[in-house]
Amino acid sequence: MAGRKGKREKKLVKLPESRIKTIMKSSPEVENIGKEALFLVNKATEFFIHYLAKSAHAISSNKQELCYSDVAEIVQTNEIMSFIKEIMPRTITFSQYKELMVAKGLPIEYESSESESDVKGRKSNEEDFDYFEPEQSYEDSENVFEMEDEIKESK
């Protein structure tokens, strides 16, 4: 079928255009988004992700996998990444969090259903309180994007 786009055609972008467009439209200054602008932002985002992953992999102690802590370290130490420092902090333990909050004179907030007295009375393993690190790999994300595109094409 010559006129119909098939799966054999190589895609120029890997990220879903609808997601990129939604993020772009979330800015109050953006009213209309042209196809060329959408394509360029999509490609720039891919290059950024590639640069970030490659940089983090270079400093990683485990060359078989890339951890959140590796990416966060690049963000925190590379001046170019200063614009995302606040949204990608280094991981810290709960004890370190408590020390920071005490030093700032702020109350300690718990995200669990346990009350502060329950937590204080219980002996805990320090590792129980590590911040969340995503376990989904980039390959899994890529498959999700492909599945979303296939669903849209079938509609």
pLDDT digits (tens, 9 = 90+) for 14-64: 899 999 999 999 999 988 999 999 999 999 999 999 999 999 999 988 888
Q: pTM of the predicted model, to two decimals?
A: 0.56
Show Cβ contacts of residue 12 under 8 Å, excluding neighbours closer than 6 positions: 39, 43
Domain boundaries 13-90, CATH class: mainly alpha
Domain ranges of the chain: 13-90
Q: Which two tokens stand for residue 133?
A: 């690190």
- pLDDT digit string (tens) for 116-155? 555 555 554 444 444 444 444 444 444 545 555 555 565 5
Report the candidate in 67, 17, 63 with the shortest Cα–Cα distance to residue 41. 17
Q: Which two tokens stand for residue 112?
A: 């669990």
- pLDDT digit string (tens) for 61-99? 888 888 898 999 999 999 999 899 888 888 888 888 888
48 in Cβ contact with 41 (< 8 Å): no
42 in Cβ contact with 20 (< 8 Å): yes
